Amino acid sequence: MSDTSGRFKHRSMQDPESIARYLTALKDGFEEGALVFSTNGKRLVVKPQGLIDLEVEAKRKGEGIKLSLKFRWNEEEPAHDEGGQPLLIETFKRE
């Protein structure tokens, strides 16, 4: 069943390994040109193309951490490069 509103939202508690699998699925979907999201009979297919607006936000407040990744694009009219700053994301190796 497709969500006719064009909106998909899911929230759940996951372990780091599950999150890594979701991130791999996102990577694969971006590379293949289509992402399929589904849960509880709802399904949404999106097709990233052209330049994609990427927003990364990481916050620490006391013991709480929030990490947000947002991707925006227009399937009808690809965006133009506005010369944003380069992003570096690295892993932290524990010693």
Is 43 part of any domain?
A: yes
Q: How much is the pTM? A: 0.75
**Token pair 């994301």 in the structure block, residue:** 89
Instruction: Tell me the pLDDT of the chain (95 aa) as tens digits.
Output: 444 568 888 899 999 999 999 999 999 999 999 999 999 888 999 999 889 999 999 999 999 999 999 999 988 776 666 667 777 877 887 76
Nearest-CA neighbor of 91 among 15, 13, 18, 20?
Answer: 20
Is 56 part of any domain?
A: yes
Parent domain of 37 = 16-72
Q: Where are the alpha helices (DSSP H) in the chain?
A: 16-32
Are the C-beta atoms of 43 and 49 separated by less than 8 Å?
Answer: no
Is 91 part of any domain?
A: no
Is 94 part of any domain?
A: no
Instruction: State how many domains the chain has.
Output: 1
Is 79 part of any domain?
A: no
